[in-house]
A and B are shown apart, each in its own frame.
Chain A
Protein backbone atom coordinates (compact mmCIF):
# COMPACT_ATOMS: atom_id res chain seq x y z
CA UNK A 1 0.00 0.00 0.00
CA UNK A 2 1.12 3.53 -0.73
CA UNK A 3 2.04 5.55 2.34
CA UNK A 4 4.02 8.51 3.54
CA UNK A 5 5.39 8.96 7.04
CA UNK A 6 6.53 12.01 8.92
CA UNK A 7 8.10 10.44 12.01
CA UNK A 8 8.22 13.63 14.08
CA UNK A 9 5.04 15.33 15.26
CA UNK A 10 7.04 18.39 16.28
CA UNK A 11 10.50 19.77 15.63
CA UNK A 12 12.08 22.59 17.64
CA UNK A 13 14.98 24.55 16.18
CA UNK A 14 16.74 27.68 17.35
CA UNK A 15 16.59 30.63 14.98
CA UNK A 16 19.61 30.71 12.69
CA UNK A 17 20.27 26.99 13.00
CA UNK A 18 19.73 24.54 10.13
CA UNK A 19 16.47 22.65 10.14
CA UNK A 20 15.37 19.27 8.82
CA UNK A 21 11.85 17.91 8.63
CA UNK A 22 11.81 14.23 7.82
CA UNK A 23 9.64 12.34 5.35
CA UNK A 24 9.76 8.75 4.17
CA UNK A 25 7.48 7.12 1.65
CA UNK A 26 6.39 3.78 0.30
CA UNK A 27 4.99 3.53 -3.21
CA UNK A 28 5.08 1.16 -6.12
CA UNK A 29 7.34 2.55 -8.78
CA UNK A 30 8.73 6.06 -8.95
CA UNK A 31 6.99 8.73 -6.92
CA UNK A 32 6.15 12.34 -7.32
CA UNK A 33 6.97 14.04 -4.00
CA UNK A 34 5.75 17.33 -2.61
CA UNK A 35 6.18 19.54 0.42
CA UNK A 36 3.47 21.92 1.56
CA UNK A 37 3.35 24.38 4.46
CA UNK A 38 0.31 25.49 6.43
CA UNK A 39 0.34 28.68 8.46
CA UNK A 40 -2.29 29.22 11.19
CA UNK A 41 -5.79 29.73 9.81
CA UNK A 42 -4.51 29.41 6.27
CA UNK A 43 -4.71 26.78 3.58
CA UNK A 44 -1.70 24.83 2.45
CA UNK A 45 0.96 26.48 0.34
CA UNK A 46 3.13 24.61 -2.11
CA UNK A 47 6.85 24.66 -1.28
CA UNK A 48 8.51 22.34 -3.74
CA UNK A 49 8.20 19.11 -5.68
CA UNK A 50 10.38 16.32 -7.01
CA UNK A 51 9.42 14.75 -10.30
CA UNK A 52 12.68 13.59 -11.79
CA UNK A 53 16.24 14.77 -12.29
CA UNK A 54 18.49 16.35 -9.70
CA UNK A 55 17.96 14.83 -6.28
CA UNK A 56 18.25 18.22 -4.58
CA UNK A 57 15.18 20.31 -5.20
CA UNK A 58 15.02 24.00 -4.34
CA UNK A 59 11.74 25.62 -3.43
CA UNK A 60 10.09 28.67 -1.94
CA UNK A 61 11.30 30.66 1.08
CA UNK A 62 14.81 29.17 0.94
CA UNK A 63 13.67 25.60 1.51
CA UNK A 64 15.12 22.62 -0.27
CA UNK A 65 14.55 18.90 -0.16
CA UNK A 66 16.72 15.93 -0.96
CA UNK A 67 15.31 12.89 -2.69
CA UNK A 68 17.02 9.67 -1.62
CA UNK A 69 15.73 6.69 -3.54
CA UNK A 70 17.66 4.05 -1.61
CA UNK A 71 16.33 5.33 1.70
CA UNK A 72 12.90 6.26 0.23
CA UNK A 73 13.17 9.63 1.89
CA UNK A 74 12.44 13.21 0.94
CA UNK A 75 13.60 15.35 3.85
CA UNK A 76 12.92 19.07 3.88
CA UNK A 77 15.83 21.32 4.81
CA UNK A 78 16.78 24.93 5.30
CA UNK A 79 20.29 26.17 6.13
CA UNK A 80 19.20 28.91 8.55
CA UNK A 81 15.80 28.88 10.23
CA UNK A 82 13.65 31.97 10.71
CA UNK A 83 10.98 32.47 13.37
CA UNK A 84 8.53 33.01 10.51
CA UNK A 85 9.17 29.43 9.36
CA UNK A 86 7.13 28.21 12.33
CA UNK A 87 4.21 26.34 10.78
CA UNK A 88 2.80 22.90 10.00
CA UNK A 89 4.62 21.06 7.22
CA UNK A 90 3.16 18.28 5.10
CA UNK A 91 4.97 15.83 2.89
CA UNK A 92 2.90 14.28 0.09
CA UNK A 93 3.47 11.53 -2.43
CA UNK A 94 1.74 10.63 -5.64
CA UNK A 95 2.65 7.38 -7.37
CA UNK A 96 3.89 7.72 -10.90
CA UNK A 97 2.97 4.31 -12.21
CA UNK A 98 -0.76 4.42 -11.67
CA UNK A 99 -2.18 7.75 -12.62
CA UNK A 100 -5.46 6.92 -11.01
CA UNK A 101 -3.86 6.79 -7.61
CA UNK A 102 -4.53 9.56 -5.18
CA UNK A 103 -2.11 11.93 -3.58
CA UNK A 104 -1.30 10.87 -0.03
CA UNK A 105 -0.31 13.34 2.66
CA UNK A 106 1.71 12.68 5.77
CA UNK A 107 0.23 13.57 9.17
CA UNK A 108 2.25 16.75 9.29
CA UNK A 109 5.16 18.01 11.38
CA UNK A 110 4.83 21.14 13.47
CA UNK A 111 7.97 23.21 13.24
CA UNK A 112 8.76 25.62 16.07
CA UNK A 113 11.57 28.08 15.51
CA UNK A 114 12.73 29.47 18.82
CA UNK A 115 13.98 33.08 18.89
Chain B
Protein backbone atom coordinates (compact mmCIF):
# COMPACT_ATOMS: atom_id res chain seq x y z
CA UNK B 1 0.00 0.00 0.00
CA UNK B 2 1.30 3.44 -0.84
CA UNK B 3 1.89 5.70 2.12
CA UNK B 4 0.61 9.18 2.81
CA UNK B 5 1.83 11.62 0.20
CA UNK B 6 2.14 15.36 0.54
CA UNK B 7 2.76 17.93 -2.14
CA UNK B 8 4.72 20.00 -2.54
CA UNK B 9 7.59 18.91 -0.31
CA UNK B 10 9.13 22.37 -0.15
CA UNK B 11 7.60 25.80 -0.59
CA UNK B 12 8.90 29.34 -0.31
CA UNK B 13 6.43 32.20 -0.03
CA UNK B 14 6.50 35.82 1.03
CA UNK B 15 4.49 37.52 3.73
CA UNK B 16 0.93 38.26 2.77
CA UNK B 17 0.68 35.51 0.20
CA UNK B 18 -1.50 32.46 0.54
CA UNK B 19 -0.59 28.83 0.14
CA UNK B 20 -2.37 25.52 -0.44
CA UNK B 21 -0.89 22.22 0.66
CA UNK B 22 -2.16 18.86 -0.47
CA UNK B 23 -2.35 15.49 1.23
CA UNK B 24 -3.33 12.11 -0.20
CA UNK B 25 -4.09 9.58 2.54
CA UNK B 26 -3.47 5.87 2.46
CA UNK B 27 -6.06 4.16 0.29
CA UNK B 28 -9.14 3.34 2.34
CA UNK B 29 -8.33 5.80 5.11
CA UNK B 30 -11.12 8.27 5.73
CA UNK B 31 -9.60 10.45 8.43
CA UNK B 32 -7.00 13.09 7.63
CA UNK B 33 -5.35 15.28 10.25
CA UNK B 34 -2.98 18.21 9.84
CA UNK B 35 -0.20 19.31 12.19
CA UNK B 36 2.26 22.16 12.34
CA UNK B 37 5.75 21.36 13.57
CA UNK B 38 8.16 24.10 14.64
CA UNK B 39 11.30 23.96 16.78
CA UNK B 40 9.78 26.28 19.37
CA UNK B 41 6.24 24.98 19.65
CA UNK B 42 6.79 21.37 18.75
CA UNK B 43 3.96 19.49 17.09
CA UNK B 44 0.59 21.22 17.19
CA UNK B 45 -2.71 19.87 15.96
CA UNK B 46 -4.45 21.97 13.31
CA UNK B 47 -7.58 20.05 12.35
CA UNK B 48 -9.03 16.67 11.45
CA UNK B 49 -11.35 15.79 8.61
CA UNK B 50 -13.50 12.72 8.32
CA UNK B 51 -15.86 12.04 5.43
CA UNK B 52 -15.46 15.58 4.08
CA UNK B 53 -16.38 17.17 7.42
CA UNK B 54 -14.13 18.94 9.86
CA UNK B 55 -14.48 16.93 13.01
CA UNK B 56 -11.93 18.53 15.26
CA UNK B 57 -9.95 21.74 15.33
CA UNK B 58 -6.90 23.03 17.14
CA UNK B 59 -6.19 26.52 18.41
CA UNK B 60 -5.11 28.25 15.24
CA UNK B 61 -6.43 31.49 13.71
CA UNK B 62 -8.98 31.50 10.94
CA UNK B 63 -6.22 32.07 8.38
CA UNK B 64 -5.69 28.32 8.58
CA UNK B 65 -8.40 26.35 6.85
CA UNK B 66 -8.82 23.00 5.21
CA UNK B 67 -11.12 20.76 3.33
CA UNK B 68 -11.50 17.15 2.37
CA UNK B 69 -12.74 15.76 -0.89
CA UNK B 70 -14.93 12.74 -1.55
CA UNK B 71 -11.84 10.63 -2.31
CA UNK B 72 -10.48 11.56 1.16
CA UNK B 73 -7.72 13.73 -0.25
CA UNK B 74 -7.31 16.87 1.80
CA UNK B 75 -6.00 20.36 1.27
CA UNK B 76 -4.86 22.90 3.79
CA UNK B 77 -4.85 26.60 3.05
CA UNK B 78 -3.07 29.39 4.86
CA UNK B 79 -3.97 32.94 3.87
CA UNK B 80 -2.09 36.16 4.56
CA UNK B 81 1.09 34.35 5.44
CA UNK B 82 3.19 35.54 8.38
CA UNK B 83 6.84 34.85 9.13
CA UNK B 84 5.75 32.70 12.06
CA UNK B 85 3.93 30.34 9.71
CA UNK B 86 7.27 28.94 8.59
CA UNK B 87 7.11 25.32 9.66
CA UNK B 88 6.91 21.71 8.63
CA UNK B 89 3.27 20.85 7.95
CA UNK B 90 2.48 17.21 8.49
CA UNK B 91 -0.54 15.32 7.30
CA UNK B 92 -1.63 12.05 8.87
CA UNK B 93 -4.26 9.56 7.86
CA UNK B 94 -6.11 6.94 9.81
CA UNK B 95 -8.79 4.42 8.92
CA UNK B 96 -11.28 6.43 10.93
CA UNK B 97 -14.42 5.36 12.65
CA UNK B 98 -17.40 7.10 14.11
CA UNK B 99 -15.17 7.90 17.06
CA UNK B 100 -12.56 10.55 16.30
CA UNK B 101 -9.46 8.89 15.00
CA UNK B 102 -7.25 10.93 17.25
CA UNK B 103 -8.57 9.17 20.29
CA UNK B 104 -8.26 5.58 19.27
CA UNK B 105 -6.12 4.95 16.27
CA UNK B 106 -2.52 5.35 15.48
CA UNK B 107 -1.95 7.70 12.61
CA UNK B 108 0.20 7.32 9.52
CA UNK B 109 2.16 10.43 8.72
CA UNK B 110 3.35 11.82 5.43
CA UNK B 111 6.85 13.27 4.97
CA UNK B 112 5.57 16.82 5.38
CA UNK B 113 5.69 20.07 3.46
CA UNK B 114 8.42 22.47 4.54
CA UNK B 115 7.00 26.00 4.23
CA UNK B 116 9.33 28.96 4.44
CA UNK B 117 7.83 32.44 4.63
CA UNK B 118 10.20 35.29 3.75
Interface size class on chain A is: 20 to 34
CB contacts (< 8 Å) of A36 on chain B: these are 109
Binding site for B on A (CB under 8 A): 32, 34, 36, 41-46, 49, 51, 90, 94-96, 99-108
Q: Which of B42, B110, B112 has the most CB of A within 10 A?
A: B42
Given contacts A32-B103, A99-B100, A107-B42, contact A44 B109 (CB under 8 A): yes
CB contacts (< 8 Å) of A49 on chain B: these are 106
CB contacts (< 8 Å) of B103 on chain A: these are 32, 94-96, 99, 101, 103
Say whether chain B's binding surface is mostly helix, strand, loop, or mixed. Answer: mixed
Q: Measured between alpha carbons, how far is A96 from B35 in the docked complex, in Å?
A: 21
Q: Total interface residues on B, using CB and 8 Å?
A: 22
Question: Top 4 A-B pairs ranked by shortest CB distance?
Answer: A43-B109, A46-B106, A105-B43, A107-B42
Q: Measured between alpha carbons, how far is A108 from B107 in the docked complex, in Å?
A: 17
A-B contact pairs, 12 of them (CB 8 A): A36-B109, A41-B111, A42-B111, A43-B112, A44-B109, A45-B109, A46-B107, A51-B104, A99-B100, A100-B100, A102-B56, A105-B42
